[in-house]
Structure 1
Amino acid sequence: MAQKTVLVLGCGPNIGSSTVGTFRKSGYRVVSASRSCDGEASDDSTMALKCDLAQPKSVEYLFKTVREEWGEPSVVVYNGCAYYPTKPEESFNIPTENFEQQLAINTTSAFVAMREAANSFARLDGSKTLIFTGTMANEGGVPGWLTLCVGKAAGAYMIDLAENVYREQDARFHCVDERTSEGKPMFEGLGGQAHADVFLDLAERKVDLPWQVTFVSGKGYVEFPHELIL
């Protein structure tokens, strides 16, 4: 069996780094992409590539490079995230250029990644998975987090749509959302390894979960009511 390739977009020191390490230990070839990656392969199963998620064309080039080097990825993790926190009463007090840049990272580049992943998945046999690091923004408005929530809510919509369109082709699309034990949003203190463990379970089909995967660190998947809990 050919070695599977996972492409991780947005390799920061927490969720991204944990995801890279977890999939590597599980036998995957891992491509990590971020603005700070050095562009050099460290070995036959690890490759680091530069990719600026604020520039959606950069995502197109990233997929092109991965295909040329290792073929089509069977797992794609979109972990891009940008936000401009404000006081709740100043939620719309955001410079236009900041809104546009963060929309590119949270939404437009995510769209490009989903489109390119769907193209890759159509050329592969067996199971394929795309995972989007989400928030509970699609459940309702959260004052003070406008740019993050607009982008993540749009991403959740695309994941829901893709799951319906491609599931019969053995391709799954998931929005993974960490919550507190009470179901409240986790905008800070996110568990990197907890996310990575959920990502691997989804990619390996160890669990059959819906497109929106809400989980609590240490417990795994927990289904919460579809309403905003603040």
Structure 2
Amino acid sequence: MSATSPVIVILGAGSNIGQTVGKFFAGKGYKVALAARSLNEADSTENQLHIASDFSNTDDVVNVFKKVNSKLGIPSVVVYNASSMSPSPAEDPFSLPIASFTKTLTVNVTSAFVAAQQAVEGFAKLPESASKTFIYTGNILNVAILPGFLEPGIGKSGAAHLIWAASEAYKDRGYKFYYVDERKPDGSAIFRVSGDAHANHFWGLAQSKTQGPWLQSFVKGTGYKDCGPYKL
């Protein structure tokens, strides 16, 4: 693989979306960095870097980018796929322990903010032809209230605002930001998402030359669909 191969970093490289996206982009000629708590750095290869990381600690986000930059190169595609939640009693959501609430916000929002900071710093050093794409794996909770999902709902809503703001602020520099949310064909929520569908959709976003709609609700086999508000 060429030393000039593009680089993708996936923060939150779980067995479904994260690992599948990594394999897909590797098949397209990308060097891949995977970061997650469960990874063993000894499993790294010349073109695939494994980084043990806990995104409840924002320092781990910075550490990921330092390692990727030094070992693979500056990433032109950054996927933030990390997520955290604790179920909240539907009838008493404020009974959640503050430690749990804080951890979820750190993983879902604060560490995503730090990742976006690091991504933008790198994008500025890449050639004009580079993809320069930041993708946040979202869900319907930025536009829907689901009983028992207060923590992740607040987190996804905050992250969606972050992505929306970034998509406007950086579009003239050629940096693209997306909040991606897989839906059913009728626009309702899907709870067993497809890693393959995400990989294909992420690839299309990375290949696009200009910023598209920041809120990327999509349907497997169909692609982007403006699903609007939550449908019961």
- TM-score of the superposition, structure 2-length normalised? 0.92
Matches within 5 A, 1:84-99: 84-99=86-101
2:5 and 2:222 map into 1 onto residues whose CA distance is 30
Matches within 5 A, 1:1-230: 2-40=4-42, 42-125=44-127, 126=129, 127-186=131-190, 188-205=191-208, 209-225=212-228, 227-230=229-232
Deviations 1:167-221 (A, max 9, x none): 11111000000111221122x2111111111111111128963111001122211
Deviations 1:66-120 (A, max 9, x none): 1121221100000011111234223333111111111111111101001110111
Task: Give 3-state SS (helix, strand or coil) of 2:120's partner.
Answer: helix
Deviations 1:4-29 (A, max 9, x none): 00000001111111111111111100
1:206 and 1:118 map into 2 onto residues whose CA distance is 17
1:204 and 1:185 map into 2 onto residues whose CA distance is 26
Structure 1 residues 194 and 33: CA distance shift in structure 2, 3 A: same
Task: Give 3-state SS (helix, strand or coil) of 2:160's partner.
Answer: helix
Structure 1 residues 49 and 218: CA distance shift in structure 2, 3 A: same
Is the 2:132–2:176 contact (alpha carbons within 8 Å) kept by the matching residues of 1? yes
1:201 and 1:26 map into 2 onto residues whose CA distance is 12
Is the 1:80–1:106 contact (alpha carbons within 8 Å) kept by the matching residues of 2? yes
Pairwise CA RMSD: 1.7
Q: Which amino acid aligns with 2:137?
A: T
Higher alpha-carbon deviation: 134-143 or 114-123: 134-143
Structure 2, gaps ≥5 residues long: none
Is the 2:17–2:199 contact (alpha carbons within 8 Å) kept by the matching residues of 1? yes
1:154 and 1:106 map into 2 onto residues whose CA distance is 8
1:5 and 1:96 map into 2 onto residues whose CA distance is 37
In the TM superposition, residue 228 of structure 1 has moved relative to its aligned partner by 2.8
Is the 1:74–1:121 contact (alpha carbons within 8 Å) kept by the matching residues of 2? yes
Is the 1:40–1:47 contact (alpha carbons within 8 Å) kept by the matching residues of 2? no
Structure 1 residues 41 and 119: CA distance shift in structure 2, 3 A: farther
Is the 1:40–1:49 contact (alpha carbons within 8 Å) kept by the matching residues of 2? no
Structure 1, gaps ≥5 residues long: none
Task: Give 3-state SS (helix, strand or coil) of 2:9's partner.
Answer: strand
Q: Which amino acid aligns with 1:198?
A: H
1:197 and 1:80 map into 2 onto residues whose CA distance is 19
2:61 and 2:44 map into 1 onto residues whose CA distance is 21
Higher alpha-carbon deviation: 36-45 or 131-140: 36-45
How many residues align structurally? 228
Runs (4+) of structure 1 moved beyond 4 Å?
none
Query: In percent, how many aligned pairs have the same letter?
Result: 36
